[in-house]
Amino acid sequence: MIDIHLYGKLRHFAEDTAPTAQSVARVSWQRGDTIHEVIDRLGIEHDDLGSNVFLNGRYADLESPVQDGDRIGLFPNDMQLLYKWYFASSQGSRAPNQDSVAQRSGDPKPCTDDSRDSKDAEK
């Protein structure tokens, strides 16, 4: 079985739709399955999915292969994550790494303890 943790408007695909429930759907695993195929069996429209798909806690794409016992996390298209680079990318993932995002956006890299120490020494 594959556990699919559903968030936001995708929660109605879970076995228990109560507001306090875990919002997990369980789908049987078939040899050669990808996330795409599992989602299709569950009946979720791909237009409803955001780009935030996780396999066993790692950022993944729809073509990522799944195994029996895996855990998939799905967020809808109206719940995009702000900091995708915090999640490790899996093979074939489109998740940007932190340095490439910082370079494109012009944001400085995170401050490290070393840089703070040198600034304090200058004062």
Q: Residue 66 sits in which domain range? A: 2-122
Q: What are the tens digits of pLDDT across the range 17-63?
A: 777 778 999 999 999 999 999 999 999 998 888 888 999 999 899 99
Task: Quote the CA–CA distance of 1 and 26 in Å, as a whole number.
Answer: 6
Question: Given this model, what pLDDT does residue 19 score?
Answer: 75
Q: What are the tens digits of pLDDT across the range 64-98?
A: 999 999 999 999 988 876 445 445 444 444 444 43
Q: How many CB atoms lie within 10 A of CB 58?
A: 15
CATH of the domain at 53: 3.10.20.30
* Three-class SS state of 25: strand
Domain count of the chain? 1
Q: What are the tens digits of pLDDT across the range 6-23?
A: 988 899 898 877 777 789
Enter the pTM of the model: 0.64
Does the pLDDT of residue 105 top 80, yes or no? no
* Three-class SS state of 68: coil
